[in-house]
Structure 1
Amino acid sequence: MAWLIALPLGLAIVYLAARYGRFRSWIEPVLSIAVALGLSVAFLVWLNEAAPDKAPEPAPNRPAAGLTVADITLRDMAFEPNETERTFRVRGTAANASDVTLEYFRLTVTLEDCPQDACKRIGEDTALILLRVPGGQNRPFETFLTFPYRPDEAPTAPKWTYRVSEVRGAGRR
């Protein structure tokens, strides 16, 4: 409803400022101060609403006790060049040796080029694998990884090193 008052008042101020130079000379500082005060009030309202007087957010879920990186074993890992340069399709099977259900894990892969046993590191990539694996079972997975190398430096004898770098298990219910 305030706009019903502000709109005609604003139009009147613009008209008088355009029509009379003397009016313009004193209305400009008054409007500048009014805008500065309005912005200050808006900032204080925003600051008051963002204050931490509300109940604290609950802590994020902790990983399930008993599930560690050592509980996840990767088998049958296959690395295939993808249609896009520098991208590889990775397939494998994740086995869960724990009694806690695995929700996801991070797979970290390092690519090296090893012609004549002289290895040169090309890069490393980490993929988040969303895979639900109940305790004592295994599931296949597939993902894509990208490695930074120039097209003229494509690996001729690729060597893959991989590891599970993080796990998250489902809490007991």
Structure 2
Amino acid sequence: MIWIFPAVAGLLIVYFAMRSSRFRRFAEPVLSILVALGLVLAFVVWMREGGAESNDNDPPPFTQNRPVILPEEIALEGLQFTRNRPDTSYRVTGTVLNRSAANLTNFNLTVTLEDCPNDTCKTVGEDTALILARVPAGREQAFETFFTFPNRFGTEPSAPKWTTQISNIRGVAAQ
């Protein structure tokens, strides 16, 4: 309810500033100084109350000795890489198997594409995708995603070699 007083004062100042040039010459510097003092005062109050620090009443950050799901507990099966449009994109399908005791929610899948003609490999590129997979403990689920690699337009690797890595696994304890 106290906000009504500054709102009415603001409207009166605008009204008188529009009606009188003499008032405008007086009001502009005074209002500028008052606004600057208000901002300095707000900053001092914020610093004094610990705005830059965490409060002692805040809950401690989430810590756990062991991640809910380890990368070794996630298996990818039946991965198929299909060239997509544009030519630098690949559609990837497969199945994720959750071998942990927790429910899987998501993970990052990093894929490295190498071209290995005559057993001499040259890295084409690497891409990472977030896989949203809500897989209960001990179950499996199909997934699909897309990866993009910086190969030349229209040129497909003659002997592609795919390397995958799972990271940033998120899960919740099974109930």
**Which residue in the other structure is 1:32 paired with?**
32
Match of 1:158 among 153, 160, 175: 160
Query: Unmatched 5+ residue regions in structure 2?
Result: none
Asked whether the 8 Å contact 1:63–1:170 carries over to 2, the reply is no
Q: Summarize deviations over 1:37-94 as a string: whole Å, max 9, x none.
A: 1332444566659464473146347597663111112111100111233221111112
Structure 1 residues 83 and 31, CA gap change in structure 2 (3 angstroms): same
Residue 34 of structure 2 aligns to a residue whose secondary structure is helix
Residue-pair matches, total = 169
Q: Summarize deviations over 1:94-128 as a string: whole Å, max 9, x none.
A: 22223333222221110112233322112211222
Q: Specify the code of the residue in structure 1 equivalent to 2:135.
A: V
Residue 126 of structure 1 aligns to a residue whose secondary structure is strand
**Which residue in the other structure is 2:57 paired with?**
55
Query: Unmatched 5+ residue regions in structure 1?
Result: none
TM value normalised by structure 1: 0.75
Q: Specify the code of the residue in structure 1 equivalent to 2:14.
A: G
The answer as to 2:142 corresponding to 1:145 is no
Distance in 1 separating the partners of 2:174 and 2:110: 27
CA RMSD of aligned residues (A): 3.1
Q: Specify the code of the residue in structure 2 equivalent to 1:127.
A: A
Q: Specify the code of the residue in structure 2 equivalent to 1:157.
A: A
Identity %: 43
TM value normalised by structure 2: 0.75
**Which residue in the other structure is 2:8 paired with?**
4
Alignment of 1:3-152 (within 5 A): 3-13=7-17, 15-16=19-20, 18=21, 24=25, 28-44=28-44, 48=49, 50=51, 52-53=54-55, 55-57=57-59, 59-60=61-62, 62=64, 67-151=69-153
